[in-house]
Structure 1
Amino acid sequence: MDTRPLAVPAYRRLWFGQAVSHAGLAVTVVAVSQQVWELTHSSLWVGLLGLANLIPLVVFGLWGGAIADAVDRRRLLIVGSLIAWASTLFILAQALLGLDNVYVLLGAVALGATGFAITSPARGAIIPRLLSPEQVPAANALNSLVYSMGAVVGPMIGGVVLAVAGFAAAYAVDALLFSASLYAALRLPALPPLGEVARPGARAVLEGLRFILASPVLLMSFVVDIIAMVLAMPKALFPELVAERFGGSPIALGWLNSAMAIGSVAGAVFSGWVGRVSRQGLALVVVIAVWGLAVAAAGLAQALWLVVAFMAVGGAADVVSSVWRQSILQLYAPDEMRGRMQGAFMVVVAGGPRLGDLRAGASAVAFGVTGAWVGGGLACAAVVLAVGLSVTRFREYRSR
């Protein structure tokens, strides 16, 4: 792994803050899905957590990206972080009060998604301002590493805390760890907008979307990711699978939530080769097909270790895909467009899995957990090969 970006103090603090806070967020993700399952015993309701995330992500992600191109990005990051922290405190309060209301949980999740939707475009647009262009792919690999490590450690902590101390303790862990991310935002230098400043609003958002639509390579990088996440993401099925195959064990739930991230950590640690691949369009299609096939194999496995192993293979493929897509987007757009590009990227990257949760939960009602899981993985591999290879400019695209 190329660690040169960590020599820049502002980036290093941002990176460390993300590493700590993302572990706490992963604890809450595990706890919320389990709490909703215990309240409803329905994978459809667990899938609706995805919808509660998706709506704020779409609305505030695109709008937040436009704002990130017009204001000091440090201030915007601080405001969004405070909103996200407030949602964590709210969900902790409902657990302490014993409300046991699924609608309250959905509301708390939606508030947290709003904070994330505001901060994510700003954070992504900040990176090219802190680092030289040749360091941007390495920074994205490092970011993928901390997200993946958080997604490994967080669910493991969540599973143990749930088993020992319950939901309130799990949410308290998140509230404490999130302070690291807020500290990193406060220590950033001022980052006022560069170039032509567009007034944030519908017109600025539409300008960003037109920029994407005018580039087949950018557009297809979004499309293949949507295919991967909507058709193959199985997270909403984890509680039901654990109940059916592994006796409802919180520890098994923690392993399942960590499985993909284990592979992502391995993929990020050994990511030095990723920057040397020039035919990134074709490579993206291949790694996303690998992701879909790995998910399908995991759905057929009966042993917990084998499910984890196949999901880890999928996670390694996913992190490689993420580094390529993010680097293309950050370096293709001028600075005055980067916030809007990151907003659209965040909507796809964070919103796609939420639609995938909804798809998986609804499919489980119709076809059972195995049918929904395996069918989604196979459909992903088939569709991404058909669509990705059909667009010549994307298939033949080479990195600049």
Structure 2
Amino acid sequence: MPVPRGRRRPEDLISTSTPDSPPDLQTTARRGHFVDLRPLTESPAFARMWIGATVTGIGSQMTIIAVGLDIYARTSSTLAVSLVAAFALVPMVVFGLYGGVLADSFDRRKVALLSAIVAWVSTVALAGYAWVSALGLGAQELWPLYLLITLNTVASTMVGVARQAMVPRLVRRELLPAAGALGGISGGLMATVGPALAGVLVASVGVAWTYSIDAVLFIAAFIGLYTLPALRPEGTPGRPGLRSVIDGARFLKDAPNIRASFLLDILAMTFGNPRVLMPAIGAVLLGGGAVTVGVLTSATAVGALLLGLLSGRLGAVRRQGLGVGIGVAAYGATIVAFGAVLLWAQLVDADAGPALDDVFVPGLVAATIVLALSGAADSVSMIYRNTMLQASVPDAMRGRLQGLFTVVVTGGPRIGDLYVGALSVLAMLWFPPLLGGVVIVVAAAVILKVQRGFREYDAEDPRP
């Protein structure tokens, strides 16, 4: 007896395959929990691109950290360091959108290669400027550092947009969740290895050598991109210009499932991003200063990395919209837990909090665990969100939607910084994450309730 739509059995959530299923629709459940490596083994082109992106991303994270340390060493000003992100925000949004237009108008391989060249030249220029400064030949102004790191960030954003738009052309649709999980592993490695290497290198050999090593690591990106086949958009390509950006926004208007996934991500990043609290948490609540900040900041990336390594079963889930919603709700729950840990630490010593050398170890351990869980939950939603975008959006429009998604990823955390910063002035440090986490959980439940099509999105019948 057929099961009415909306009343599927639990076993219907897991994809199965039959000998008669077309190859691109086969979604065989994984036998184990470890990461599905088939995108790397079946597609050498994807493997080269993935390896190149990972190695280059580690180098890019090294440079981002090194620039911050470089500026602080020159100015002793935290505000001067924060301006790196402020100056890059608008260009990232603009060129994220325009990068999507270019990816839908020209050969995506060439778009990525040309953007990578710009990013590499800016890295070489940073190294040159640092060497001139280190040798005492001048180069003490800050504006070249801001200009070059902004150019590097913008070019890297355009590379990422083009690269993501190419993934569905390099791997089978069945393997898109596995490719997304590999992307999570890559991101986790970048966010953990890159900053750690930067700290060691800057402390031991200086910022000039750190920039120079990044310039050498960038060669991996060129190898990964240059060896790709030509990948022009299928169907009617777009044309560079504002009209193409507007067409992308119009498509999103008529794509309720993708729109819901974007909305969930904005809510999660706006109300559940406590990164600006970290310095105060290390100084006032948990103790440990910079060491505590480093541990808490890296915990999220470690959680994402571990989730990627244990993502083998994720590719078998068909109700991917539901997966996004549950992942975001779980993320919100971990942020609530993080706020509760901070409240606990506040209650332990309500007068002054621990001194810098007096770490509240139970609170630090608990906060590290819940932030690692938040990274894992966010990675789950990211995998399914990327898969839905890549599988359901027509190839000729995919670059522009990736560009719009870049704006979401870029703008959400910045808005979140304002939310957390403003609320922390009016209330205790524990209040912004506690309230924000509740907002995320409630919003995810409401969206899943009212967006039936998103809730019942089927990976074997992808619709934007």
State the TM-score, normalizing by the size of structure 2.
0.77
Q: Deviations over 1:202-260 (max 9, x none)?
A: 111111111111021110110000111122123344344445444443x5444333211
Q: Deviations over 1:117-163 (max 9, x none)?
A: 32122101111222222222221211221111221222222333344
Structure 1 position 272, deviation (Å): 1.9
SS of 2:228 mapped into structure 1: coil
Corresponding residue of 2:52:
17
Trace 1:107-186 onto structure 2 (pairs within 5 A): 107-186=147-226
**Conserved in 1, the CA contact under 8 Å of 2:175 and 2:315?**
no
Corresponding residue of 1:201:
241
SS of 1:198 mapped into structure 2: coil
Corresponding residue of 1:2:
36
Which residue among 194, 203, 211 is the counterpart of 2:251?
211
User: Which structure ranks higher in relative contact order (CA pairs < 8 Å, sequence separation ≥ 6)?
Assistant: 1
**Conserved in 2, the CA contact under 8 Å of 1:52 and 1:109?**
no
Q: CA 1:41 to 1:380, structure 2 compared with 1: closer, same or farther past 3 Å? A: farther
Moved more, 21-30 or 143-152: 21-30
For the aligned residue pairs, the C-alpha RMSD in angstroms reads 2.8
Which residue among 332, 339, 342 is the counterpart of 2:399?
339
**Conserved in 2, the CA contact under 8 Å of 1:85 and 1:175?**
yes
Is it true that 1:269 corresponds to 2:269 in the alignment?
A: no
Distance 2:223 2:294 in 1: 28
SS of 1:271 mapped into structure 2: coil
Q: Deviations over 1:263-316 (max 9, x none)?
A: 111111111221222333233222212212323433535544433222110111
Distance 1:385 1:32 in 2: 41
Q: Deviations over 1:86-135 (max 9, x none)?
A: 33334445555276766554433321221023212210111122222222
**Conserved in 1, the CA contact under 8 Å of 2:323 and 2:380?**
no
Distance 1:70 1:352 in 2: 27
**Conserved in 2, the CA contact under 8 Å of 1:136 and 1:327?**
yes
Is it true that 1:229 corresponds to 2:269 in the alignment?
A: yes
Distance 1:154 1:11 in 2: 22
Match of 2:253, as an amino acid? L
Distance 1:365 1:184 in 2: 46
**Conserved in 1, the CA contact under 8 Å of 2:331 and 2:377?**
yes
Which residue among 51, 54, 59 is the counterpart of 2:86?
51
Identity of aligned residues (%): 37
Distance 2:185 2:280 in 1: 29
Q: CA 1:160 to 1:375, structure 2 compared with 1: closer, same or farther past 3 Å? A: farther
Distance 1:364 1:167 in 2: 34
Distance 1:217 1:109 in 2: 35
Distance 1:128 1:54 in 2: 28
Q: CA 1:373 to 1:2, structure 2 compared with 1: closer, same or farther past 3 Å? A: same
Structure 1 position 350, deviation (Å): 3.4
Distance 1:177 1:234 in 2: 31
Distance 1:243 1:154 in 2: 25
Distance 2:301 2:203 in 1: 21
Corresponding residue of 1:298:
338
Report how many residues are paired. 398
Corresponding residue of 1:349:
409
State the TM-score, normalizing by the size of structure 1.
0.88
Is it true that 1:380 corresponds to 2:440 in the alignment?
A: yes
Structure 1 position 167, deviation (Å): 4.0
Q: CA 1:128 to 1:349, structure 2 compared with 1: closer, same or farther past 3 Å? A: same
Structure 1 position 398, deviation (Å): 3.2
Distance 1:89 1:242 in 2: 35
Q: CA 1:389 to 1:62, structure 2 compared with 1: closer, same or farther past 3 Å? A: same
SS of 1:193 mapped into structure 2: coil
**Conserved in 2, the CA contact under 8 Å of 1:61 and 1:347?**
yes
Distance 1:360 1:174 in 2: 33
Is it true that 1:323 corresponds to 2:363 in the alignment?
A: no
Q: CA 1:370 to 1:237, structure 2 compared with 1: closer, same or farther past 3 Å? A: same
Distance 2:439 2:377 in 1: 17
Q: Deviations over 1:334-386 (max 9, x none)?
A: 21111112212222223323433444445555556544454444443343334
Structure 1 position 329, deviation (Å): 0.6
Distance 1:168 1:259 in 2: 28
Distance 1:238 1:89 in 2: 32
Distance 2:222 2:269 in 1: 29
Distance 2:142 2:292 in 1: 23
SS of 1:26 mapped into structure 2: helix
SS of 2:224 mapped into structure 1: helix
Distance 1:272 1:146 in 2: 16
Distance 2:67 2:441 in 1: 30
Corresponding residue of 1:72:
107
Larger radius of gyration: 2
Which residue among 296, 305, 310 is the counterpart of 1:256?
296
Structure 1 position 34, deviation (Å): 5.1
Q: Is there any run of 5+ residues in structure 1 with no aligned partner, and where?
A: none
Q: Is there any run of 5+ residues in structure 2 with no aligned partner, and where?
A: 1-34, 343-359
- Which structure features the higher share of helix residues? 1
**Conserved in 1, the CA contact under 8 Å of 2:324 and 2:382?**
no
Q: CA 1:65 to 1:164, structure 2 compared with 1: closer, same or farther past 3 Å? A: same
Q: CA 1:28 to 1:375, structure 2 compared with 1: closer, same or farther past 3 Å? A: farther
